[in-house]
Structure 1
Amino acid sequence: MKKILKGGLVSLFILLLLLGTLMIHTILQAQSYGKLINYVGIVRGGTQRLVKLEMNGWKSDHLVVYLDGILEELNGKAGPYDLLLPRDQDYQDNLVRLNEMWGDLKDSIYQYRSGQIEEERLLLLSEDYFEQANNTVFAADNYAAGRFRTLLILCIVMLGIMLATWIFIFWAASKKMLLLEKTNKALNELTRRDPLTGAYQAEDFKREAQRLLDMYPGNQYAVVYTDFSDFKYMNDVFGYTYGDRILKEYGCVLLKGLQDQEICGRIFADQFVLLLRYNRREEIVRRQRQADDTITEFMRESDGRQSISSCCGICCVEDVLEDLKIEGLLDRANFARKTVKNGSNPNYVFYNDSIRKGLWEEKGIESKMADALKNHEFVVYYQPKVNPESGRAAGAEALVRWRMKDGTVIPPDKFIPVFEQKFMIGQLDRYVYEEVCRLQRQLMEEGLEAVPVSVNVSRLQFYDQDFISKYVEIRKKYDVPADLLEVEFTESIVFDNEELLLKTVQELKQAGFSCAIDDFGKGYSSLSLLKTLSVDVLKIDSFFFDNGDDEERDMEVVHGIIDLVHKFQIRTVAEGIENMKQVEYLKQMGCDYIQGYVFYRPMPEDEYAELLRKEQMQKEGSGYADRDKCEL
């Protein structure tokens, strides 16, 4: 009987191993499908951009070479993109047709340049090519879907075999129920733990911490909320595998340092929480600093040889006036941690009266946000962007201020983070956008020459599938031409989801909006992204103009950026300019627009409208003067 049981278990495990190997192979292949679909999509979008540039008189041979390289790899040639060629007849047939049409389209482009064919003929070929590229994308997507269905079937089969294996084991071990019960308890404990670090998962930490607080009311407890100052940098530069190694080691360090009646949990990413006992407050800081020193030494001895500081908020239960549960204590420890993040405190901060006031201030803002939007307490200010050649406003950026009914003004750095935390930033963005559309319509009805106005869009908006359609609807409501509106977003969205960014920008462009990257250079900018990201404007962050130790070097960097992006037909805006010396530098470099206090501070709507009126009058007066000179 034992031999039969053993043989049955061995057979099941061999079968699982074979299926697992097959599934891993399928998964590894599946990782390439998304890249394949993406590059076929790049061929589709890049060709449209190529034709558009050709029609506008820009010869883009470098783009032709780039698309040729991708198509060669799509057809099986080895290259830098590491693309696969699926064994799928439908996809390969579509790819053959796409190659043929690409050759025809290239010939037509060269004929168009020499005047042998008309623009309509080139446009027609471009549309046919776009449709074929769509068909090729769909064929690749269908093939990938089929492979994923195969993977799903393998998973289901594996799950079925695993279930059968456990039933088999349970039946075989029915006489050892006590041992099985102990094993189940151990497995249950594992499910409550974070698989990477071994610390409690968020909800399990809260339950266990509350149990300890209730069970040992005589203990002096402190809740510690800690993370690293910029762990995203580690992941971006050294990769997620390296980052996971650091987190795993840090979890081990924190768990090893626990004493009786203490626990550790991992809330999210690099955020850890602890419930610690103490006699003196200094003990908490000393113990946490030891843990941080240990992980810092580990990072310095690892491959990256880098280290980043920690940010730690501490909330002692005895310092809290309210009768709070663990969720409230965590909130306060986290609020103390945020004061480290914003640079206003050292690495280890205890929750205190000043932090308490800040928390209540945030709660006060939170309680008034919805009504403030309804009551139109938010006011849009406009900061002009000046053409350095003419000295006139060629555009503006919309900025928001909160003026409460009693006249109190709340600065943006106070209320915008709260809007983001409560996922209401989309409502505020749309409010500002609609105010801009309203003003643009008003200016046009007055007969003024309105200039483009840019509106900032939060990164959370990119995850709202309807945000573009909502913006188009508002634009149509006020009948504002698309070229008078520009959408700004910060480069940080690139590191959240580059694929989503590319897709959203493409849809914004299709809807007629101009797109701008804000704060370029402030984060970890990728210049290579500009060749695939179809933006119209790049705003160079004021960081480059802050009068650093080597101003000449900073200007050379700015000059290089301007020269490079101009090759992609991208206009540039220099932000934060405060003196005429910088203006002269930028004018010589060919910077398109300048924004800063050297020309204008952000101004209310009525002042901005008056500025446009004066500039239009000056322009018209100059025109009359020039005409009179000609008549004389």
Structure 2
Amino acid sequence: MKKILVIEDEELVRENILELLDAEGLAGIGATNGYKGIDLAKVEKPDLIICDVMMPGLDGYSVLKTLRQETTFATTPFIFLTAKAAKADFRQGMELGADDYLTKPFTRAELLGAIATRFKKQQQYRSELEQAKDQLDYLMYHDSLTNLPNQLSLREQFKQIKSTHSQQLMTIMCVGLDRFNQINDDLGHSVGDRLLQAVAQRLVNGVTSEDYVARLGSGQFAIILPTTPHKKDAVFVAQTLLEQFSQTFAIDDQEIFVTASIGMALYPRDGRDIEQLLNQANKAMFQAKQQGGNCHQFYSIALSKGTSDRVALKTSLRYALERDELQVYYQPQLNLETGKIIGAEALLRWEHPERGLVSPIKFIPLAEETGLILPIGEWVLKTACQQTRHWQKMGYPHLKIAVNLSGRQFQQLDLRHRLVKIFTETGLRPEYLELELTESMLVENTDVAIRRLQALKALGVEIAIDDFGTGYSSLSYLQQFPFDTLKIDRCFIRNIQDNPSQAAITQAIIEMANTLDLKLVAEGVETDAELSFVVQHHCHKMQGYLFSKPLPAKEFESLLFSEKALVGIK
């Protein structure tokens, strides 16, 4: 039975409405004033609220504003009763989130019609929300470009196969396209994307229906061969796949030739969990690439020792901090209502004296692996906070800074104490720092992660979930964790105007985040069309090359002082 809360100080009106509701088989709950109405709403969780506008003590506008601030009542239908019929009064209520108005005196038919309409629209909303959830659930387990299963799906599939084939030899393959970045650079990302789609289909065609093909990212795929009694069986599959690549790909009336390198790890010999096996297979694939590509390689313990180049890079990294080789770059974040810079994301860069700028993709994993990420990460935090406070003193008092937090940093038991020390030393107030975390850092032990996040939020800092939808995404995490901001990964934004299904999924993410009162940041906005989409769908902030690439502190400062703003957002 639907429950309807009636907040009305006039007893006769209130009782008449309650009797009418009872006659219609609806459960009516009466409240004599706004304060009691709010208390009853929190206890009864009504399906719809009817509220008088003009009441002593707390008027209807204040009741609505108070309830809408709570997630529980964010979408509860709300109908105002009023003797006032001025457009300004209607506008005030609608801006606060009212769904309908009934002007006193009203008829029985008008009241029941308004209630029926609200319930119908709520049902439509719930149906649309369920569809959005289904779309997102599909996305959580599939790559949006190729429609192949993603890494999360691969993990779960491995568990299922392992439970039924625990004693059998299983092969995990990593398939990496050789020199794929060069294709992107020479022919463009659009051609590169279509090539990946064609490669995905060719891989699926090259294995049996029992085998499992997934995309890991960029030009890299994974394959599970559940039953390979002997190594020669895996070799046969690898050779078959390489032969598939001997035929060119026809993309946009041009033929593209690309080869692949395949690395293989065997279960249970090389590992018993998918992460370890993927890591071993990836090492073998890298070794195949080092041999010139277009070949396959099994993992061996010798590969774990790494190449001399990797060892040299790891050694150099140990001295990078003390030799002042590390820098913090700043990518502007812009308010999509004003077009003005309101903050920045701090990004770590390494200027090697001999190699030049070393890609973060190369040295961040090394820092994580060696534990150097702890002192480096703390240096980034302190440097970014110190620089932001400097800019605030120079006339930008509300400038905010977003800093990525590594998994190891998040697991530090004294992280809260370290942050307090940084705030004390730099003078930056906690509310101007946003800590960005990835989903993979939170899923291992959600209870512990929630407690740690709550302790950080108690300081006043904000928490952002980064790269949402690219890892272990689950809608339930958005509700469990005390996030303030959701960052939409660039893979959802790129070429969104040419991909209706991707646009629909991204719109669903935005609507879900707005329902949960999360601020939204669109990452990787590079074109006017992408900007138009995120503005149209009410993202709050953006960052991307359309406005600016990440900049050294002095260049960011010059950009800030120039008062450059984003144009074309209205």
Normalised by the length of structure 1, the TM-score is 0.48
What CA distance in whole angstroms lies between the structure 2 residues aligned with 1:240 and 1:416? 29
Query: What residue number does 2:447 align with?
Result: 499
| 3-state SS, counterpart of residue 538 of structure 1 | strand
Does the alignment pair 1:462 with 2:414?
A: no
Q: Where do 1:176-191 residues align within 5 Å?
A: none
Are the aligned partners of 1:388 and 1:583 in contact in 2 as well (CA < 8 Å)?
no
- 1:369–1:311: structure 2 CA closer, same or farther, 3 Å change rule? same
Query: Could you tell me how far 1:463 is from its partner in structure 2?
Result: 2.2
The residue matched to 1:495 in structure 2 has which SS?
coil
Structure 1 residue aligned with 2:367: 419
Distance 1:558 1:571 in 2: 15
1:498 shift after superposition: 2.4
Worse overlay, 284-293 or 475-484: 284-293
Residue 591 of structure 1 corresponds to which residue in structure 2?
539
Shift in CA distance, 233/243, structure 1 to aligned 2, threshold 3 Å: farther
Q: Does 2:11 match 1:59?
A: no
Q: Tell me whether 1:376 sits opposite 2:328 in the alignment.
A: no
- Residue type matched to 2:389 in 1? R
Structure 1 pair 610–336 and aligned structure 2 pair: CA distance change class (3 A): same
Per-residue CA deviation, residues 330-376 of structure 1 (Å, 9 max, x unaligned), is: x999733456799x967832699xx9997222111111222111222
Matched residue, 2:477: 529
Distance of aligned partners of 1:605 and 1:540 in 2 relative to their CA distance in 1, 3 Å threshold: same
Amino acid corresponding to residue 509 of structure 1 in structure 2:
K
| Secondary structure at 2:328 match in 1 | strand
Going from structure 1 to structure 2, the CA distance change for 1:286 and 1:577 (only over 3 Å counts) comes to same
Question: 2:331–2:548: 8 Å Cα contact kept in structure 1?
Answer: yes
Matches within 5 A, 1:370-409: 370-406=318-354, 408-409=356-357
Q: Find the partner of 1:233 among 145, 153, 156.
A: 153
Matching of residues 442-481 of structure 1 within 5 Å:
442-481=390-429
1:348 to 296, 301, 313: 296
- Are 1:365 and 2:313 an aligned pair? yes
2:232 corresponds to: 286
How far the C-alpha of 1:537 sits from its partner, in A, is: 0.7
Q: Is the 8 A contact 2:462 2:484 kept in 1?
A: yes
* Cα deviations by residue, 1:405-442 (Å, 9 ceiling, x for unpaired): 45722111111111111122222211111110110222
Deviation at 1:446, TM superposition (A): 2.6
Which residue identity does 1:63 align to in structure 2?
Answer: T
- In the alignment, the residues of structure 1 paired with residue 368 and residue 478 of structure 2 have an alpha-carbon distance, to the nearest angstrom, of 27
Specify the alignment match of 1:540 in structure 2.
488
Q: Which residue of 2 aligns with 1:182?
A: none
Structure 2 vs 1, CA of residues 360 and 367 (structure 1 numbering), >3 Å: closer, same or farther?
Answer: same
Q: Deviations over 1:490-548 (max 9, x none)?
A: 11223333233222211111121100011111123112221121111100011112326
Query: Given that residues 542 and 574 in structure 1 are in contact (C-alpha distance below 8 angstroms), is that contact kept between their aligned partners in structure 2?
Result: yes
Contact 2:465 2:486 in 1 (8 A): yes
Aligned position for 2:388: 440
- Alpha-carbon spacing, 1:345–1:481, altered in 2? closer, same or farther (3 Å): farther
**Among 506, 530, 549, which residue is 1:558 paired with?**
506
Asked whether the 8 Å contact 2:329–2:346 carries over to 1, the reply is yes
Extract structure 1 runs of 4+ deviating beyond 4 A. 53-56, 229-232, 238-242, 290-293, 331-334, 337-342, 344-347, 355-358
Distance 1:392 1:333, change over 3 A: closer
Instruction: Check whether the contact 2:467–2:488 (CA below 8 A) recurs between aligned residues.
Output: yes
* In structure 2, C-alpha distance between the alignment counterparts of 1:334 and 1:61, rounded to whole Å: 47
- Per-residue CA distance 1:297-353 (angstroms, 9 max, x = gap): xxxxxxxxxxxx984169xxxxxxxxxxxxxxxx999733456799x967832699x
Deviation at 1:248, TM superposition (A): 3.4
Match of 2:181 in 1: none
The percentage of aligned residue pairs carrying the same residue is: 28
SS at match of 2:443: helix
* Matched residue SS, 1:366: helix
Check 1:313–1:548 CA distance in 2 against 1; reply closer, same or farther (3 A cut).
farther
Deviations 1:463-495 (A, max 9, x none): 221223212211221110112111001112233
The count of aligned residue pairs is: 344
Partner of 1:155: none
Instruction: Return the alpha-carbon distance in structure 1 between the equivalents of residues 448 and 318 of structure 2.
Output: 29
- SS of 2:297's equivalent? strand
Larger radius of gyration: 1
Give the C-alpha shift of residue 586 in structure 1: 1.1
Distance in 1 between residues matched to 2:464 and 2:167, nearest whole Å = 39
The amino acid of 1:335's aligned partner reads K
Tell me whether 1:518 sits opposite 2:469 in the alignment: no
> Whole-Å Cα distance in 2 between the matches of residues 332 and 569 of structure 1?
41
The secondary structure found in structure 2 opposite 1:430 is helix
**CA offsets 1:202-241 (integer angstroms, 9 cap, x no match):** xxxxxxxxxxxxxxxxxxxxxxxxxxx98763444x5946
Distance 1:338 1:246 in 2: 28
Q: What does residue range 549-628 of structure 1 map to in structure 2 within 5 Å? A: 550-615=498-563
After TM superposition, the structure 1 = structure 2 runs for residues 17-416 of structure 1, keeping only pairs within 5 Å, are: 57-59=66-68, 63=72, 233-236=153-156, 240=159, 243-250=162-169, 286-289=232-235, 311-312=263-264, 335-337=283-285, 348-349=296-297, 359-406=307-354, 408-416=356-364
1:101 equivalent in structure 2: none
Query: Would you say the 8 A contact 2:442–2:449 is kept in 1?
Result: yes
Matched residues in 1 for 2:410 and 2:510: separation? Answer: 27
- Give distance in 2, aligned partners of 1:252 and 1:551: 35
1:544 and 1:563 mapped to 2: Cα distance? 14
Tell which has more relative contact order, 1 or 2 (C-alpha 8 A, sep 6+): 2
Q: Against the structure 1 CA distance between its residues 591 and 230, is the aligned structure 2 distance closer, same or farther, given a 3 Å change threshold?
A: closer
RMSD: 4.3
Is contact 2:262–2:284 with CA below 8 Å preserved after alignment? no
The CA distance in 2 between the partners of 1:527 and 1:338, in whole Å, is 35
Task: Point out the structure with the larger strand share.
Answer: 2
Change in CA separation of 1:407 and 1:54 when aligned onto 2, cut-off 3 Å: farther
CA distance in 2, matches of 1:386, 1:503: 31
